[in-house]
Structures are given as C-alpha cells and as structure tokens.
Amino acid sequence: MRPVFSAAAVFLVSLGLSAPLWAGKRVDVNAELRLLELGQTPPRHIPGASFRVAVFTFEDPDGTGLGDKAAALVERAILTGHSASSLGVLRYEGDLSPRQPGDLGYFDKVERVVASQGVALAVWGRIARSRGELVVDTYAQVPSPAVESRFTWRLRMPHGMGGEQLLARLRPNRFAVQRLQLPLGAAEAIRSAAQRLDELRGSPADSAAIVGRLPKEQVYTLLRREGDWVFLQVRGGPGGWARMPSCPGECGGFLNAATFAGGLIGYQERGSAPPELPGLTPEARAVRDQLLALDGLNDPELIGQSIDLMKRWSSPVLTSSGAGTGSQAPRLPPGAAAAANAAAMARVSGLLMQGFNEAYERTRPELESLRQAVREGRLKPPVGVPEGPGALRENGLQSLSPLDIGLIYDRTAVDREELRAIAFQLVDAALLDPRNPELLQNIAVLFRGAGDAERAAKADRLAQSAGR
Amino acid sequence: MHLFLSYAREHQATADAIVLRLRQAGHDVFFDKDDLPPAESYDNQIRQALKDSDGLVFLISPESVAHGRYTLTELGFARERWRNPSGRVLPVMIAPTPYSDIPEYLKAVTVLEPKGNVVAEAAAGAERLGGRSRLRRWAIAAVVLALVVVGGVAAWRVWGPRPGPTRQARGAVSDLTTEAAVAGATVEIRCGVEALAEGVTDDAGKFDLAFASCGEPATLSVKHDQYTQQSRPVPADQAETAVALLPKALGACVIKNAQGVVVGHFRPPLSGSDTGGDLAGRIAEALTYDVLTVIQTLNLPPALQPRFLACDEAKPRSVDFAAGYARALGADAFLVGSVEPADGAFNVRAFVGDAFQLFKPPLPSVTVGVALNDPAVARLAPEMHGAILTAVARGYAERRMFRECVDVAVAAERLIGRRTPALDQTLARCQDGTGLAGLRKGS
C-alpha cells in the first residue's frame, strides 16, 4: 500500500511546487487542439508530476458510446496501479477521429497534443463492433522526446576502433498493446465500471452517500487507498472515495493493457521492464523484450541472454496463416530490424568484454605511464566508458580504478572480420527498416571499425538522408 | 541559373515537380542528394553545391524546419554563402507551418505562400532569384532584346510574312477510365490565341486536322461536354496523339499531390433492400480507421500518408476497369463492388484494382453474412487491407520514395501473414531502390 500523503504535500502541490504526487485531470482535447491551431501553447497540466501520462478517448467508429468509458478505466488503472513516485495522468476527453480525407489520424493528433505537455507515454484505443463482438484495441505511443531521453541506449566503441557510438532506440514506439474480443454484453460492464470511477463517496463503501463528482479541468490528487477504494481530493473542491477500477467477467483482461502501460512508466523511473501479462500483442511483447535485452548490454552475466532474446525477435517465424495464393514466406516479428540492431549491439558489447581482458594484459606494462600522461594533461581522460568492463573487473580484473578501466577500454580491439559480419547482418536488417537512422549509423560505425571505409561512407550518406 | 533546392523528404513529390518545372525553364537544379558520389564527405558536397549555386529555394514545411533535420544544416551552409538572403533565398511555404518555427534567416525575406498551384508559383518565384548581378544581366539582356526586336520588326516589314508549311495533327481520343473511343469531341489547334484548325472526332474517336505552321509550338485542345478539357503541344514529328479524357463526373474524385485510394460505387442488392446508404463513404471511413492506423504506427509523416476518398460517381461497367479508374483518378488503388443477398443476410463483394498492374484481374474479397445496418459491413478483410497497402507501397516506389515503400510493404506483409507475388515484386523493387543493396556482402 502506498504511503499516506500529508496535507503539507497537498498544499505544496496546490502551490504548483514539485513534490511527490499522484494526480489526475480530465481535459477537453478539442479545446487544446483549438489552442494549438491558433499557435498557442496550452498550459502544462499537473506540472509538479515527474512523469505524465496522457490517456485519450478511444476511437469509436461504430458509435458504441464506450470511447470515454474505456479511457476512464485505463486512466484510473494507471493512476492507482502506478509504480512511479510522482505521476500525473491526463484524461483527454473528446473524439480525435479524422473527419475528412487528409485529416490527421489518431496517432498524429495525439502526438500533436502531447508535444506541449511533455508526457512520457500516451495511451488510446479503439472500440468497434464486429460480428456480434466488441473488439477493443489499445495502443501506446512513446513520444519522440521520451524515446530520446529514456528509451535510447548507447555503446561507445574504444578509441582504438574509432570511439564512435552505437545507438539503439525503442522501436516500435507506436504499437498495439492489446487486441481484445469481448461479447457485446461486456459493453454494459464497461459502462457501469467507468461510471463509478467519477463518483466520490463519503466513505469507502458502495452504500455510502455520493458527496461529489470529479469535475473537468480540475486536478484531483490520490491521497490514500483502502481496499478497493482510493481517496481523491479535488483541488479547491470536494474530496471523497472512488472505487478502484475493475471490470467484471470477460472485460477484466482489458485492464492488463493499462497495467502494461503503467509498467512502461515504472521502467522510465526504475528501469524494470513491464510485467509479462496474458493477452498482450506481439508488439507489446517485443517492446518488453527489447527493454530487457538492451538493459543487459553492460552485464557480463546477461549479455548472452540479451543476444538470444533479440535473435528470437529478429528472425522470421513460420506462421500457419497464408490461405490463398502466395509463397509461404516466414512472417517477420514486429520490430525485427530494431531487434537485430539490439542483438548486434549486444554481440559487440560481448566481444568488447572479451577483448578487454586481452587489452588489460597488453596495457598493463604501460598503465602507469598512461595514468601519468592523464595527470599531466597530455592524454585526455576517457569518458563515456561502458559499464561492461567495469562489471568484468569484479569477475577477475582486480584493483582497477575507473581511470584504468577507461584507459584499457580505449585500447581494446575486437576482430575486424567479426565486426564486418555483424555489420552485414545489420545491412540485411536495414533492408526491412531503411528509414531507421540509428540502424544505418550503426552500420557505418561497424564498417569503419572493421576498416571498410567505402561501405562506412555509403552508410553514412544513407543515414543522413534517412534523417532528412 | 544554378539553383539549390532544400526540402524535407516528406515532400519529395512536390520537390520533384518543382525541379521538373525549373529544369524545363532551363535552370540547373541541385536537389537529388541521394546520388552524391561517395568520394567526399556528405557535408562538404552539400556545402560545395551551395557555393556553386546562384540561389536557394527552401520548401517550408513542419518537417523541413523541425529540429535536427538536415534541411536546417543546408540552411546554415546557405547563411555562410549569403549573409544577406535577399535576392538569393526564396522560402516557399508548401505546408502549413507555424510562423514561430520558421528560422529567422528565412523570415528576413518574404516567404512565398502559394495561393494556387504550388509548383507554378514556386518556379515563378525562383525566376526572380539571382541577386543584383543577375538583375544587371537581365537589364543588359533586355536592352539587347529590345534592339533585336526593333531590328526584327524592320526585317519583317521588308520581307513580309510568309505562310508556314502545312502540318497535320492526327490522333485518337478515348475515355481515361474505360479506354473506350470518345466520339464527337471537339479538337482545336491553336497558335497562341489564334485558332488554326478545328474538327470533331469520329465514331472511332479519331481526328485528323491540317493547319498552317505558325513558327511556334502549336497547342492541341480537346473538349467534350461530358469530359474535362485537355490541352497539350502538337508533337513536332507529326506522330499520332493519344488523348485520354477524364469524365467530368469524376473531377472531384481525383487525388492531387498525395497518395491515396479511391472507393468507388458499390452496387446495392437488386431486391432494393435498404443498405444503410453511402456504402462507398462508409468503406472509405473504415479504411481511414483501419489502414491509416497501421500506416501511422510506421511514423510516416502526415503529408506522406495516403488519403481514402469515397467516390460514388465512379461506376465502372466492369471490375476489369478498376485499374483504369485508379490511374485516371491519380490513386494507387481503386475499390469497387456490390452487395448481394444471401441466406437472410448479405454478402459484400469488393475488388481492388491498382494503378500499377499488381492485381490483374482485380483482387476479390467477399464478406459473408453481414447485416447491412451493421457498421462492420464497411470493414474489409485483412487481405484486402494488405492488397491496398501493397498498392500504396508501390505508389511510393513510383515517386522514388523507396524507404517509405519498404516500410509500408513490410507492414502489408505483417497484415497478410505471407508474401504475395505482388508484395514480393514491390518489396524487391523498393529494397533495390534504397541503395542498401550496395552495402551487402559481395556487392
């Protein structure tokens, strides 16, 4: 259970000062879009929160009337099931569907709205009717600034091999988290579950009197929990108990999408990947495994697992589908090129860890003179040294200071032919994702490290034009 | 004049059209940076190209002024070249862009905001580039020209006008969508404002007109009350001219300056059952929901995303004309179909034709047993989405946007769950176009 917030914390929040808080706000998305169209920037909502998540009304092409309800459930599930120490959840209400050919689609409109808010994650979805069922798709998108600041991994090559960085970014950053098929009867369950969320009661019981409702455009702060209830305090308004989100029967699985999304926020703060949950899409599982693999880049114990994990996502898999004409070519997993990139980085990291031991033996006789050169300013101290070799030290290379590690690392070499082979594999991956600039840049770095200047220059040019 | 064109790849099609227009006007335009030789660094080659230029045309769009884009690097090189952009730099707003996002260097000169034809206005604006030295050259040229004109008029008077030799203009007029001959179309040959000859196409759509050569390129224009008018130069070599006319009813269905898919007429059941109306509109809307979402997950910029346009007026006599309709309407793919009663419900039969002969005959799909008041009736099967995406991918390839083509083709493959021959062919062509093949082992 979360610690109870003090009145002082609420006071600080109300003053707009930065403090730990868990808060939510309902926002009119069309009002925000109008401001943006006028060239104005909407005010930042819940500015005191370290992390902000935006949840948008689900697209509702068949007019089920459940778009806002589904969003309300996701919003509250993230707010109450969060693992971040300071979180603001914005629930944007209003339809963002394209109205005419050429209108921005949902993902692009969402991107536009969240750009002014600096949110770490946006969630939305779509509810449609199909052959007597409700199909509920939930999507997540990590805005580009959040990808850049929180979902980017770097591996600097030793100076002896060019000193350039290999780079990986989370891809896809727009993906379906869950596709759920529910009986049409589940619509009523979603409707009534969502309705209860905005009712504030005098005590944590269904029988307690309703003392207020959550208003639009007002921040409400989660102050405490009790069983299936949370106490929400509206800024400058009433406080009361609201039910934790729950969806009875078959719609219960819907909340797994929110749990996964909350896990992505938890990852941004603590670095632990979202939990493995039933019913998630291959895209969501690919994202989760990418996080696990890339976080293992610097860990000698995990590097093998990282390589295996990413190999699985980068290799085509045979599928049973394929009715009709056409070759039965294996199906590509989602994010296959990004997984190949992560696998390549893991392989290079592994080679560098192996090479570090050798470099240590070679460098040891001159280590003192190198230290001296650094002290006297004749040699720049190494910066941006990966943690992998440091971790290796605990496994045998004793008594090395961070400076020693850096000096040895920059004298580490790996077999050029191995680098070349990895680069060629990345070229094959890039053929499936040629707009991925980091992939192309990594190819250039690897070819340069392997001494193939011509291919490196060509990859550089392709990377430049992919970023244009 | 040497011109440098700076633009974001998302607006490649507009850039291509402007370059074509400028080159037709005799200018040398540097713009295809993907073709740079590998000898030097990319930056140096761009910088040198700007040094060699008399002016820069900068296509402003949200993408071209976005932080980190290479277009801003090019602008930096331009600033090194011309500290004062006046007379040297022409910023052209080709997509709505917040004024605050436009770099100050560009705002220092008047930003051209085309009111009509972007390509024509941008090309006309570029004509005015070149700075003071160019103005001086123009002034000298104007004086020389004036002298030549005066001399020419004098010579004209002395030797008098001579009628030009007789020429023939012959050809055939057809319907762009069905390729059927169009009889009764008025064909006119003009020289400037002067009409030289006029005739009417016969039952086979043929025309054959004789006219006196007027010393400048003659124009042939074809009019018909059911078709949009078309004009073009009369070929100098007297070759036969094939003119394909777009039916006027389809004028509003043409996709301009973008990629897209047109959903044509879906024939309702002969029983007269209520279909809920506007099936084409509902299918176009469903495609916007379903296919556009797939494309957006690829992070394709909005300007590059395809449009889905309903056009109930597009009623081909046979599904075999679907490809012709796609070409005529500037669409990558064209859908048409029918609704038929079956066992108390309805089957919705749809066909996808495309502008590139990928699906020949058009690809069919049937959604069986649907109630017509059910919104799901407008949803197409995943393989239809896959086929549409394959055609859209091929459309990118035709515009030399090979990377986007690969992305969309891979998405189509994931959607269909296998590689169709059309997809194989499209993907191979696009991967080849990316230039990545040159990095492969053994290449």
Which domains does chain B show, CATH number per domain? 2-129 (3.40.50.10140), 166-246 (2.60.40.10), 250-436 (no CATH)
- Identify the pLDDT of residue B262: 96
Cβ of residue A132 closer than 8 Å to a chain B Cβ: no
* Whether A321 contacts chain B with CB within 8 A: yes
Provide mean pLDDT across the span A300-319: 83
- Give the pLDDT confidence score for residue A329 in this predicted structure: 52
**Which residue, B362, B263, B267, is CA-closest to B319?**
B362
pLDDT in tens, A67-85: 999 999 999 999 988 667 8
Question: How is residue A254 written in tokens?
Answer: 């819907």
What is the CB neighbour count within 10 angstroms for residue B177?
26
Which three-class secondary structure string do you get for chain B? CEEEEECCHHHHHHHHHHHHHHHHCCCEEECCHHHCCCCCCHHHHHHHHHHCCCEEEEEECCCCCCCCCHHHHHHHHHHHHCCCCCCCEEEEECCCCCHHHCCHHHHCCCCECCCCCHHHHHHHHHHCCCHHHHHHHHHHHHHHHHHHHHHHHHHHHHHCCCCCCEEEEEEEEEECCCCCECCCCEEEEEECCEEEEEEECCCCCEEEEEEECCCCCCEEEEEECCEEEEEEECCCCCCCEEEEECEHHHHHHCCCCCCEEEEEEEECCCCCCCCCCCHHHHHHHHHHHHHHHHHHCCCCCHHHCCEEEECCCCCCCCHHHHHHHHHHCCCCEEEEEEEEEECCEEEEEEEEEECCCCCCCCEEEEEEEECCCCHHHHCCCHHHHHHHHHHHHHHHHHCCCHHHHHHHHHHHHHHHCCECHHHHHHHHHHHHHCCHHHHCCCC
Average the pLDDT over A314-332 and give the result: 54
When CB atoms are compared, the residue of A326, A458, A464 closest to B439 is A458
More confident residue, A152 or B237: A152
Residue pair B438/B402 in contact by the 8 Å Cβ criterion: no
Q: Which residue has the higher pLDDT, B300 or A422?
A: A422
Spatial separation of the C-alpha atoms in residues B79 and B81, rounded to whole Å: 5
CB B283 within 8 A of CB B378: yes
Which of chain B's residues have a Cβ under 8 Å away from the Cβ of A430?
436, 439
Share of chain A above pLDDT 70, in %: 89
Q: Does the structure show a pLDDT above 90 at B160?
A: no
Whether the predicted pLDDT of A138 surpasses 70: yes
Say if A44 falls within a structural domain: yes
Query: For the CA atoms of chain B, what is the radius of gyration?
Result: 26
pLDDT top residue among A320 and A49: A49
The length of chain A, given as a count of residues: 468
Averaged pLDDT for residues B159-183: 80
Residues in chain B with CB shorter than 8 Å from the CB of A59 are: 289
- Is B440–A129 a contact, with Cβ atoms under 8 angstroms apart? no
Which band of pLDDT confidence, cut at 50, 70 and 90, is reported for residue A14?
very low
Mean pLDDT across chain A, nearest whole number?
86
Q: According to the model, what pLDDT value does residue B101 have?
A: 81
Residue A56 touches partner B, C-beta closer than 8 Å: no
Higher-confidence residue of A269 and A91: namely A91
Query: ipTM beyond 0.90?
Result: no
Which of B418, B419, B443 to probe by mutation at the A interface, max A CB count within 10 Å? B418
Residue A262: inside a domain: no
What's the pLDDT score for residue B273?
A: 62
Number of domains forming the structure of chain A: 1
Per-residue b or e along B375-389, where b marks 16 or more CB atoms closer than 10 Å to that residue's CB: bbbbbbeebbbbbbb
Between residues A322 and B87, the one the model is more confident about: B87
Per-chain mean pLDDT for chain B = 83
Q: Which residue has the higher pLDDT, A17 or B379?
A: B379
User: Does A17 reside within a domain?
Assistant: yes
Whole-number percent of chain B with pLDDT over 90: 33
Residue B138 has pLDDT above 80, yes or no: no
To test the contact with chain B by mutation, choose from A136, A317, A468 the residue with the greatest count of B C-beta atoms within 10 A, namely: A468
Q: What is the pLDDT of residue A377?
A: 92
Does residue A163 form part of some domain?
A: yes
Residue A90 burial by Cβ neighbours in a 10 Å radius (0-12, 13-18, 19+)? buried
User: Which residue on chain B is closest to A334 by alpha carbon?
Assistant: B414
Report, in angstroms and rounded to the nearest whole number, the Rg of chain A calculated over CA atoms: 26
A47 assigned to some structural domain:
yes
Helices (H), A183-226: 186-197
Residue B56 has a pLDDT of 93
If one compares A194 and B143, the residue with the highest pLDDT of the two is A194
Mind listing the pLDDT tens digit for each residue in A254-269? 899 999 999 999 888 8
Please name which of A166, A164, A169 lies closest in space to residue A148, comparing C-alpha atoms: A169
How confident is the model over B187-191, as a mean pLDDT? 91
Mean of pLDDT values over A234-263? 87
Does A459 sit within 8 Å of B34, measured CB to CB? no
Whether residue A103 has pLDDT greater than 90: no
Range in A307-316, B5-14, B172-181 the model is least confident about: B5-14
B-chain CB neighbours of A176 within 8 Å are 297
Query: Which pLDDT tens digit goes with each residue over B227-248?
Result: 999 888 888 767 788 999 999 9
Report if residue A97 sits inside a domain.
yes
The shortest CB-CB distance from A61 to any of B289, B434, B441 is to B289
The answer to whether the CB of A406 falls within 8 A of the CB of A381 is: yes
User: Cα separation of A48 and B281, whole Å?
Assistant: 46
The CB density around residue A88, as the number of other CB atoms within 10 Å, is 28
pTM: 0.74
Distances, alpha carbon B185 to alpha carbons B180, B188, B192, B206, in Å: 13, 10, 21, 9
- The 10s digit of each residue's pLDDT in B27-75 is 888 876 655 655 456 677 788 888 888 899 999 988 888 877 788 888 9
Residue A410, pLDDT score: 93
CB contact under 8 A, A427 and B436: yes
For residue A109, what pLDDT is reported? 87
A184: in domain: yes
pLDDT tens, position by position, A155-192: 999 998 889 999 999 999 999 999 999 998 889 889 98
Across residues A267-288, what is the average pLDDT? 89
| Domain-located, residue A139 | yes
Give the range of the structural domain holding residue A107, as residue numbers without chain letter. Answer: 7-255
